[in-house]
A and B are shown apart, each in its own frame.
Chain A
Amino acid sequence: QPAQFTNPETPGYVGFANLPNQVHRKSVKKGFEFTLMVVGESGLGKSTLINSLFLTDLYPERLIPGAADKIERTVQIEASTVEIEERGVKLRLTVVDTPGYGDAINCRDCFKTIIAYIDEQFERYLHDESGLNRRHIIDNRVHCCFYFISPFGHGLKPLDVEFMKAIHNKVNIVPVIAKADTLSLKERERLKKRILDEIEEHGIKIYHLPDAESDEDEDFKEQTRLLKASIPFCVVGSNQLIEAKGKKVRGRLYPWGVVEVENPEHNDFLKLRTMLITHMQDLQEVTQDLHYENFRSERLKRGGRLKIEDEEVNKDQILLEKEAEVR
């Protein structure tokens, strides 16, 4: 018996219980990649929320276009990548923004660009996965989509319903209500319930947090229950420090009081952040196991060459490429 694998105290101890630690250590070394897509009309607080979540300024030179400029604009896709490191753990976060969504008078073609982008990332991954050199596949697939619902409405708008139905089989949807400080607590509860009812009514599939495993501790189980019960999250974003009750907090200063971003009695910001962080792994898994596999099987059934950026590559070229890869 190899000496290093025996623990003198427990006869028969093999030692593979150590595997999770090894995986953990490798992951930490490799770092995590996560792509978050953000969709919603202009002015719903998307950028502020992203900046608040990741304590950064992802949009330093931002120019807000006027209404006349928006009339001719189509939906754009803008991706910004930032590397965040915390206690030795590296996160390479890509935020995919969709300016122009919901702004036009006629939004019928609003989602084409966005769906094309999501599909293109799947297509690219499929192409890479089928290649010979698979060591450095970059995963740019969208792992999660924050869909922003207006806090000013009475529930979902026709555009919200149509868009979510068009992407719910392609990406994990997390509905978010930002600028929640415009709602009283009662109004929030009413709006959340209305939205959940409408989501069910229209058969929209949003991301479901997995239930806590039975062997988890009570605190974690309770936390998961609380998170599940709060969807959709009603949040307030801000990176401004305001003085409140003697200490400096991130918040918004009004003549009638201060809204604190990280106060759970004021809004669900902490819950949203917790959910995102503790479920990053799960969001990636569901993207891989469900959405990507859906895409892959549909795609392969459909047949045809795997097109990357509309380029049809012929057989000889493929062979040449593969040879180059092996080298």
Chain B
Amino acid sequence: AGPAETKNEAAMSELVPEPRQKPVVPMKPVGINASLLGYIGIDTIIEQMRKKTMKTGFDFNIMVVGQSGLGKSTLVNTLFKSQVSRKSSGWNREEKIPKTVEIKAIGHVIEEGGVKMKLTVIDTPGFGDQINNENCWEPIEKYINEQYEKFLKEEVNIARKKRIPDTRVHCCLYFISPTGHSLRPLDLEFMKHLSKVVNIIPVIAKADTMTLEEKTEFKQRVRKELEVNGIEFYPQKEFDEDLEDKTENDKIRQESMPFAVVGSDKEYQVNGKRVLGRKTPWGIIEVENLSHCEFALLRDFVIRTHLQDLKEVTHNIHYETYRAKRLNDNGGLPPMTVETEENHESNL
């Protein structure tokens, strides 16, 4: 339509809307409350998905990072109630500290309630143990990126596998030494670098060394330090999907984390029950007792409520970030190869 010649005509054209063009994009769907009209059966999709997951099982890869002796192996064994860590896989505890950071991945299949989980525990012996620990996070960052690269290569194949084996690190538990003072410079450096490529969950190890007051103070101080240094640990604020998520995660971020945990693979009798714990001359520390330590909170968080989300954030955020960088950097994706028997790599 041409420009309005008089003021009146302009005013008129405002009142009469121009004929709307046919929308190219489908309109926003109108919500229908199905139950008012009778049962359709859409909700059974949840059951269908559940059955599918049970049949196929799923991969979960958890990495543990921290100085030697902070109880990483014991904690992972306690988390999954099985001997899944490096310590239990024939590794001699009298072994010397390696001179450089090593990456050791051990896979197990755990079954519960008909659901199969292929769990891989990735240990990082040597981290933070040397006199000079400069850049000791680099081998870890390299490993994580290598898994993204592996996945990317599979994704761009012409003949893709139906289910790409997922060796990407879904969760990295970072063990903070319970000094009661503050974080160490190495903790800051590690988390600064790695929180951008992987989900980091900081935990305070061997928390039975602190009284309740000391624990609360230390947690507050650590949270503050992480905030001041711009370190976003999982669950990251920017990935909260809706208000419900945000409320739940806010509470975890601001009150519970970092979880102050105690691990144990030994059982003792307490009040007629057998519990996992640590025996000392002044009492038995019960690992799953919330008034003793926060192990149960960590376990529920990682396994019972946020397991799927950890995988999703890894896939949708961290992996995509890596992929986008790769696309921009080398001017293209890795060369496409046709999967043949010869170049098929065996998975972990």
Q: Are A43 and B181 in contact (CB under 8 A)?
A: yes
12 A-B pairs (CB sep. < 8 Å):
A65-B182, A66-B228, A67-B188, A67-B229, A68-B185, A70-B185, A106-B134, A107-B132, A182-B206, A255-B291, A256-B283, A259-B280
Please tell me if A89 contacts chain B, counting CB pairs below 8 Å: no
Interface, chain B (partner A; CB < 8 A): 67-71, 93-94, 97, 129-134, 177-189, 205-206, 208-209, 211-212, 221, 225, 228-229, 278-286, 291-292
B68 partner residues in chain A, CB cutoff 8 A: 153-154, 157
Contact of A107 among B131, B180, B278 (CB under 8 A): B131
Contacts A67-B182, A68-B225, A266-B282; is A106 near B132 (CB within 8 Å)?
yes
A 241-277 binary contact with B (CB < 8 Å = 1; else 0):
0000000000011111111100001100000000000
Q: Is the CB of B177 within 8 A of A152?
A: yes
Q: What residues of chain A lie closer than 8 Å to B279, measured between beta carbons?
A: 184
Please give, as numbers and ranges, the residues of chain B lying within 8 Å of A159 by CB-CB distance: 131
B133 partner residues in chain A, CB cutoff 8 A: 105-107
**Given A43-B179, A181-B280, A184-B279, does the pair A105, B186 have CB atoms closer than 8 Å?**
yes
Contact of B212 among A41, A103, A255 (CB under 8 A): A255
**A44 on the interface (CB 8 Å rule)?**
yes
Which of B178, B184, B278 meets A103, CB within 8 Å?
B184
Query: Given A153-B69, A182-B209, does the pair A256, B131 have CB atoms closer than 8 Å?
Result: no
- Known A71-B188, A158-B131, A252-B211; further 6 A-B contacts with Cβ < 8 A: A110-B131, A157-B97, A158-B130, A184-B278, A254-B285, A255-B291
Residues of A in contact with B (beta carbons under 8 Å apart): 41-44, 64-68, 70-71, 103-108, 110, 150-154, 157-159, 162, 179, 181-182, 184-185, 194, 252-260, 265-266
A66 touches B225 (CB 8 A): yes
B185-A104 in contact (CB<8A): yes
In the complex, the answer to whether A256 meets B285 with C-beta atoms within 8 Å is: yes
Contact residues in A for B225 (Cβ distance below 8 Å): 66-68
Rounded to whole angstroms, the CA-CA distance of A44 and B181 in the bound complex is 10
CA distance A105 to B133 in the complex (A): 5
A184 near B185 with CB under 8 A, answer no
Are B184 and A67 neighbours in the complex by a CB distance under 8 Å? yes
Given contact pairs A43-B180, A266-B281, A105 touches B134 in the complex (Cβ within 8 A): yes
Q: Which residues of B contact A104 (CB under 8 A)?
A: 185
Give chain A's interface secondary structure class.
loop
* B131 to A: closest C-beta gap in Å: 5
User: Which of chain A's residues have a CB closer than 8 A to the CB of B70?
Assistant: 152
Beyond A152-B69, A154-B93, A158-B130, whether A259 also contacts B282 by CB under 8 A is yes
Contact in complex: A256, B228 (CB < 8 Å): no
Shortest beta-carbon distance, B160 to chain A, in Å? 42
Bound together, the chains give a CA A108 to CA B212 distance in angstroms of 36
The chain B residue with its CB closest to the CB of A180 is B209
CB within 8 Å for A152 and B206 given contacts A43-B181, A105-B134, A108-B132:
yes
Chain A residues within an 8 Å CB radius of B71: 152
Interface centre among A67, A108, A182, A265 (most CB of B within 10 A): A67
Most buried by A among B131, B177, B187: B131
Residues in chain B near residue A252, CB distance under 8 A: 211
Q: How far is the CB of B95 from chain A (nearest CB, A)?
A: 9
Q: Which residues of A contact B285 (CB under 8 A)?
A: 254, 256
| Contact yes or no, A105 B179, CB < 8 A | no
Cβ contacts under 8 Å, A41 to chain B: 179
Q: How far is the CA of A54 from the CA of B126 in the complex (A)?
A: 38
B281 near A265 with CB under 8 A, answer yes
Closest 5 CB pairs of A and B: A43-B179, A257-B283, A257-B282, A256-B283, A153-B69
- Measured CA separation A154–B186 after assembly (Å): 20
- Chain B hits for A179, CB < 8 A: 209
Is there contact, CB below 8 Å, between A71 and B181?
no
B132 to chain A, nearest CB (A): 4
Q: Enumerate chain A residues within 8 angstroms of B211, measured Cβ to Cβ.
A: 252-254
| B residues in contact with A154, CB < 8 Å | 68-69, 93
